[in-house]
Structure 1
Amino acid sequence: MAILAGAVVALPAVAADVTYRNDIAPMFKKLCADCHFAENNAPSMAEFKLDEDKYKKQLKVGPRVDTYEHLLQLVDGKSTGALMRRLDDGTNPYAKGKAGNMYKYLGETDAERAANLKLVKAWVVGEGKAWNLNGVGQRGDMPPVTLEQLRQVQTKY
């Protein structure tokens, strides 16, 4: 019985325990640094938006996600929902079965990608209420993000 109790404690962190510093930053450093960290010339989101064509033409360059502040811009800032749209596995109703363009980089195997997505979702939403693909403006049949949705974001540093 004591062995079983120890196994339960060793399970992945519950949503309330997931933090940027302990969980998200190390994962993003491992998986995203080549394309999304300043050390590799990744632009801030503001710089990216000023000249998207320039950055899209450059191979392996996207908006920075190497700090808490840069990452939050893609979660609940001016570019809200961008992180969710790109990392989503396609199960969100608005994704219509198509995974986001960055989902494939969440790991080498389906199991690793699923586990890492689960961790990011736990960081963004706590109990699963704020993971949505909505942005500031309407995108096709997807309505813009609501204030209620933004208030549900629970990203802990």
Structure 2
Amino acid sequence: MASNYANSCFVSVVYFEDTPIGAGIVLKNGNKASIPWASTLREFNRLAPNMKLYWNVLAHCADNEICEFDFGRSTYNEGTFKFKKQWGAQPYLLDWYCYPRSKSNERENENSEGSLKASIKPVVEQIWRSLPLKLTVALGSKVRPHISL
């Protein structure tokens, strides 16, 4: 990736001792930058490597006259949204377009896995809210890696 993007890309890596525990890929375009991918190792999250990662990325951008940084999309008021907001990020609504479906596509989509997930999600969320806190804490770390935000 770096060879294809050359000076328009950089990778920031956070280390604990000699172990890389977090990283982010930043793409630059003129005086703008975005971070399409970042991740940390779960077992080191108690050290808050994401804070160090974003500090390094934003410092690099500021030092290189990048005046606009795109933190990427997030679900409103969820964890990633709140994390980005503490750095001064301002939310912008994305434009969404809906294209009419043909009758045959409509029937396919009604039975698709995505439609099933969308109809089950509110029910699962309601059940989760009604569970005892201790149970959600115990299950949460095991379930979360399998949930796409």
**Higher percent of residues as strand:** 2
TM-score by length of 2: 0.26
TM-score by length of 1: 0.25
Greater C-alpha radius of gyration: 2
